[in-house]
Amino acid sequence: MTSPAQAVGQIVEAAGPRVPALLSDVEDRLAELVRGHGEVLATHAGATIAAGGKRLRPLLVLLAAGPPDDDAPDVVRCAVAVELVHSATLVHDDVLDAADLRRGRPTVWASAGRDMAIAVGDLLFSRAFAEMALTGSLASVRSLSRASSALAEGELLQREDAWNADVSVERYLHRCELKTAALFEASCELGAQHGARDTERGLRAFGRRIGLAFQLLDDVLDVSGPPERTGKPRGTDLLDGTVTLPLILARERDSELRELDVRAIDGPEAAAEVCDRIADTGALEESRRRALEVVAEAKTALPHSRLGDGQRTALELVADSVVDRYS
Amino acid sequence: MTSPAQAVGQIVEAAGPRVPALLSDVEDRLAELVRGHGEVLATHAGATIAAGGKRLRPLLVLLAAGPPDDDAPDVVRCAVAVELVHSATLVHDDVLDAADLRRGRPTVWASAGRDMAIAVGDLLFSRAFAEMALTGSLASVRSLSRASSALAEGELLQREDAWNADVSVERYLHRCELKTAALFEASCELGAQHGARDTERGLRAFGRRIGLAFQLLDDVLDVSGPPERTGKPRGTDLLDGTVTLPLILARERDSELRELDVRAIDGPEAAAEVCDRIADTGALEESRRRALEVVAEAKTALPHSRLGDGQRTALELVADSVVDRYS
C-alpha cells in the first residue's frame, strides 16, 4: 500500500519537475478567483476551495496535456475550471445532503446557510466558464459544458432513483458515468486539447474509466468504512436513499435484503447493520473486483504509443492511486 | 396605458416581420433542449420554461442584433442561452424563497423538492453554456459567464444584506445591477456581437439601464400591489428580509420606520401595514421617478445614428414596456 503523499511523489517523479509548479499555479489562481469576487465569495467559497482535497481532476488535466512548457497558462486555466465545477458541485451537494463537514471543515451550507450555498455554487459554476473562455478554445468550453451538464443530469437521476432498491446495475453505472466519470473524462480531454490532439480519444476513455472506478470504490467505502478512515459513519448513502452497487449485488444473494425497504432504515445503527449484512454476502469484494477491472481497462485505453514514457507512467500511477485509497 | 399584447404588437411592427418567426425559433429550441436531456429534465424544467414569461431577454437579443437574416441561428442560440440562464436563476430562486407558484404553475421546488430543483437549475446553467458554445463565439461565452457570475454575486449580496434596513441606496443599486441589470446588458451585448459590432457599447448601456429600471419597478410593485395584479401579497420582500429602495427612502422620511426591525414583521398583515406606511411617505413615487429617469437615460444611451429606424423604435418600445407594466 502506498500513502497518498508517496503516490503524489511518484507521479511527480514520473511526470517531471514542472508538474508541482503548475499545480501551485492552479492553487494560486483558485485563491485569486476566490479573493477577486467580493468578500462574500472569499469567505464562503474560500473555505471549500482552500480546504484542498486531492486536486485529482486538475492533476489529470496537467498529466493529459503531456510534458508542459515552462509557461502553460491555458492548461492551468483548464485545470482551474474543472476544479471550480467540482467545487460548485460539492457546495450544492452539501446543501442536498445537509452536510456539516467537508474535508474536516464546516461546509458553506453549515456556516452560511442554504441560500448562500446555492448562490456560491452558482457563482463557482459561472467563474468556471469565464476561466475556460480565457483559454480561447471553444472546444474546451464545449467539453466543460458537456461535463457539467452530465454532473447535473447524474444528480437528477440519483434523486429520481432515491429509495428505489430495484434499480438495475446498468442504471447505477449510467448514473456513475454522469455523476463522476464525465468530469474525469473532461479533465483528460481538456489536457489533450491543449497538448497532443491525437491522444484525445484514448485519454478520454482513460479518464472516463478511472472516474467510474473512483465512484465504484467510493460507494464500497460507504458500506465498508471504517469510519475513522472515511470520516463519516457507514451507510450514509443508505440513509440518503442512495442505492449503490454493493446493495444491488447483495440483494441478488440475500433474500432478506431483497425484502428490505430502504426507507425503513431509521438511523446510523440500523444502517451499520445493513452494511454488515451487505458485507456478509461478498458484494463488497465483487464491487471492488469490478472497479479493479475498470482500472485495468483504463490503463489499456491509454494511447501508449503516443504518450511520453513519463506521461504514461504518471497516468498509470494516478489510476493506481484511485485503487490505493481503498486498499 | 398599453396592454402587454399591444406593446408586443407595436414592437413587432417596428422591428419587422422576422422577429415573431425568430421568437418562435427560440421557443422551439427551448422545448427541444428540455425534451432532449432525459425525462427528468423534461418533466421538471419543462414546466418552468414552457410556462413562458415575457421572453423579454430573448427579445432584447433579437432586437439588438438588428434586422435579421432569414436564418439567424447564432442570434437564436444567444437568445436561448440567456433565457436558460434566466430560467436557471428562477428555479434556484424558488428554492431560496420556498415559492409554490411561478407564473401560475407549481415551481420545480414545489413539485419535485429542493434537491431536484437545485440539480435542474444546475443543468439549465450548463445547457446555456453548451448552447452558447455552438455559436462559435468566445466573446459571447464570455458575455454570458460575466452575466451569470453577476447574477450569483447579486444573490450573495442580497442574502448578506438580508434583514439589514441600514443598507445604502448605492449598495441597493449595486445589487440591482448585479442581480438583474447584468443579464439585460448581456442580452443587448450578445445581440450586438451577432449584429453590428459598433453598436455594442451603446446597446450594453441601454440594456443595463432598462434592467435596472425593471428591478426598481419590480421592487415598487412589491410594496404597492395590488395583489390581484401582481399575483402575490404585498410586502413579500419584507418578509424575506429583502430591503429595497422604497423602504430605504421611506426610512429617511419617517422616524418610526427608521426604528423598524425588519425581523419583527411577523406575517402578511404586518407586512401590508408596513407597505401602507412606506406608501404614505411618498417613497413609491420617488422610486418610480428614479426608474423613469433611468429609462430616459437608457433611450439616450442608444447609439441612434447606427441603428435602423425600426430597430431603434422597437428598442424604445421595449424600454417603455418596462414602465408600462406598472402604470
Return the higher-pLDDT residue of A144 and B45: A144
What is the predicted pLDDT for the residue at B37? 67
- Inter-chain residue contact B157 with A122, CB threshold 8 Å: no
Tell me the three cell numbers of residue B324: 408600462
A121 vs B: CB within 8 A: yes
Q: Is B126 within 8 Å of A141 when comparing Cβ atoms?
A: no
Provide the shortest C-alpha distance from residue B168 to chain A (in Å): 17
Q: Is residue A106 very low, low, confident or very high in pLDDT (cuts 50, 70, 90)?
A: confident
Q: Looking at chain B, which residue has its C-alpha nearest residue A114?
A: B96
- Mean pLDDT value across residues A259-264: 94
Average pLDDT for chain B: 89
- Answer whether residue A118 shows pLDDT above 60: yes
CA distance to partner chain B, nearest, from residue A141 (Å) = 6
State whether residue B171 sits within 8 Å of chain A by CB. Answer: no
Q: Across the interface, which of A114, A115, A153 has its CB nearest the CB of B37?
A: A153
> Given CB atoms, is B21 within the 8 Å cutoff of chain A?
no
**Which residue's entry shows cell 439567424?**
B72
A192-231 CB burial, b ≥16 within 10 A, e <16:
bbbbbeebbebbbbbbbbbbbbbbbbbbbbbbbbeeeebe
> Which range (A16-20, B120-124, B286-290) has the least confidence?
A16-20
**Beta carbons of A153 and B125 less than 8 Å apart:** no
- Whether residue B256 has pLDDT greater than 80: yes
Closest approach of chain B CAs to the CA of A302, in angstroms? 27
The ipTM (two decimal places) reads: 0.87
Instruction: State whether B148 and A116 contact (CB < 8 Å).
Output: no
Q: Which residue type occupies B130? A: A
| CB contact residues (below 8 A), chain A span 242-301, against chain B | none
Which residue, among A302, A295, A307, A296, has the nearest Cα to A16 in the 3D structure? A307
Whether residues B116 and A159 touch (CB distance < 8 A) is answered with yes
Q: Is the pLDDT of residue A91 over 90?
A: no
The residue in chain A having the minimum alpha-carbon distance to the alpha carbon of residue B119 is A152
Q: Across the strands, what pairs with B105?
A: B102
Q: How confident is the model at residue B77 (pLDDT cuts 50, 70, 90)?
A: very high
Alpha carbon of A123: minimum distance to chain B alpha carbons (Å):
5
Distance, in Å, from the CA atom of B109 to the CA atom of B136, rounded to the nearest integer, reads 34
pLDDT in tens, A130-166: 999 999 999 999 999 999 999 999 988 998 899 999 9
Per-residue pLDDT tens over the stretch B171-215 = 999 999 999 999 999 999 999 999 888 899 999 999 999 999 999
Q: Which residues in chain B are closer than 8 Å to A82, comparing Cβ atoms?
A: none
Task: Give the separation between CA A225 and CA A273, rounded to whole angstroms.
Answer: 13
Return the C-alpha cell found at A227. Answer: 469510519
- Residue numbers in B near A116 (CB within 8 A): 156, 159-160
As a whole number, the mean pLDDT across chain A is 89
How many pairs of residues across A and B have Cβ atoms under 8 Å apart? 149
Nearest chain A residue to B159, by CA: A116
pLDDT at residue B255 is higher than 80: yes
Confidence of residue B42 (pLDDT cuts 50, 70, 90): confident
Question: CB distance from A41 to chain B under 8 Å?
Answer: yes
* Whether pLDDT at B141 is above 90: yes
B130 interaction partners in chain A (CB closer than 8 Å): 142, 145-146, 149
- Let me know: does B324 contact B1? Beta carbons within 8 Å: yes
Q: Which of B116, B123, B132 sits opposite A149 (nearest CB)?
A: B123
Grid cell in block for residue B316:
424604445
pLDDT in tens, A18-67: 888 899 999 999 988 888 766 767 777 777 777 667 899 999 999 999 87
Produce one character per residue of B177-204: b if its CB has 16 or more CB atoms within 10 Å, e if not: bbbbbbbbbbbbbbbbbbbbeebbebbb
More confident residue, B280 or A105: B280
- Identify residue A288 by its one-letter amino acid code: R
Indicate whether A113 pLDDT > 70.
yes
Domains and CATH numbers, chain B: 4-324 (1.10.600.10)
pLDDT in tens, B50-72: 766 789 999 999 999 987 766 68
pTM for the model stands at 0.91
The confidence score (pLDDT) of residue A4 equals 59
**Is the pLDDT at A90 greater than 80, yes or no?**
yes
Whether residues A152 and B40 touch (CB distance < 8 A) is answered with no
